[in-house]
Amino acid sequence: MTTTWRDLLLGQLDFYWQAHLWPRLRGLSDHEYLWEPADGAWTLHEGEDGVVRIEAVVPEPPVAPVTTIAWRMAHVGRDVLGKRARAFFGGSDAPADMYDDRHWPEPLPLTADGGLALLERGYTCWRDGIAALDDEALLRPLGPRGGPFAHDSMAALAMHLNRETMAHGAEICLLRDLYRAQVTHGDPLVRAAYAGRAGDAERRIRQRGSLNSVTRWHPSLLADVAALHHWSTVRVLIDQGFPVNNATDHGTTALHYAASAGELSMVTMLIEHGADPTLVDSTYGMDAAGWAGHFGHTEVAAYLRTMPR
């Protein structure tokens, strides 16, 4: 089988997008999108003229500021992928090289939905453009629209943009992790639960006298803590009445994670408190018994299969 440049370039970009980046962007809120993780962070700003611009200086400083997710999404969707796609594959009549903003004149978005749409559109435009090229075209020099890189090939540019997309995508994911740790998990009870401090979590629950606010704002807490294998904390949450069938965005429950870890006593406790063994996750389409079997815990899988269906 002959492996072409196009197959290699698209295979790398598509796998990263489909398996790593896009699934990690589910549930992005406007607050998180524009959240500034440090003083002086670069972001998107609407000027007095009503135009939304991305913060930047030329030349870039030796150590650039931390950015918002909005900044990264705009940079990847428009500057890294979108403008290049239109400059080389159509959609822009601007007589300029691939760096010119006139290739993508649409306003930058100040909402999470708008940022996601821009990012997906830039990716799709660039991906479809590369998919339409054969190896001869990919190895041809960029020409005037390549600016200072006019003599480099389209394949070389595609390799660079793959790296850029993966680097900035990783930064977006890290910003989501920091937001979750610093903002979403700002509640002391929630922070204690995620850290596996069972005694601290139990004390804070007793002080409150209710889990209502936690179950409302953090409905997947039990499943998330089970995914971290903090079993003592899972027991505390169950004993205090946390709903055992609340699932993550992927449909996984605490029972799935206990089963995958082979924690029969934890599985039994969850079942006794009403855990539903028939629930399936949205990624693999398996119930808890399926997860147990997949990870080699035959005893747990057999026990779960005896449950009423």
Per residue in 33-89, pLDDT tens? 999 999 999 999 999 999 999 999 888 888 889 999 999 999 999 999 999 999 999
Q: What's residue 6's pLDDT? A: 94
Write out the H or E segment, with its range, that includes residue 53.
Answer: strand 52-54
CATH class assigned to 188-305:
mainly alpha
Question: Which CA distances in Å does 60 have to 14, 56, 57?
Answer: 30, 7, 6
Non-local (6+) Cβ contacts of 212 within 8 A are none
Residue 210: band (very low, low, confident or very high) from pLDDT cuts 50, 70, 90: confident
Kindly provide the b/e burial profile for residues 107-132, where b requires at least 16 CB atoms within 10 angstroms of the residue's own CB. ebbbebebbbebbebbbebbbebbee
Q: Tell me the residue type at 12.
A: Q
**Dihedrals phi, psi of 141, to nearest 5 degrees:** -60, 150
* One fold for 5-182 and 188-305: no
pTM score, two decimals? 0.78
Distance CA 196, CA 290 (A): 26
CATH class assigned to 5-182:
mainly alpha
Q: What's residue 209's pLDDT? A: 82
Task: State yes or no: pLDDT of 21 exceeds 80.
Answer: yes
Distance CA 228, CA 245 (A): 17
Domain ranges of the chain: 5-182, 188-305
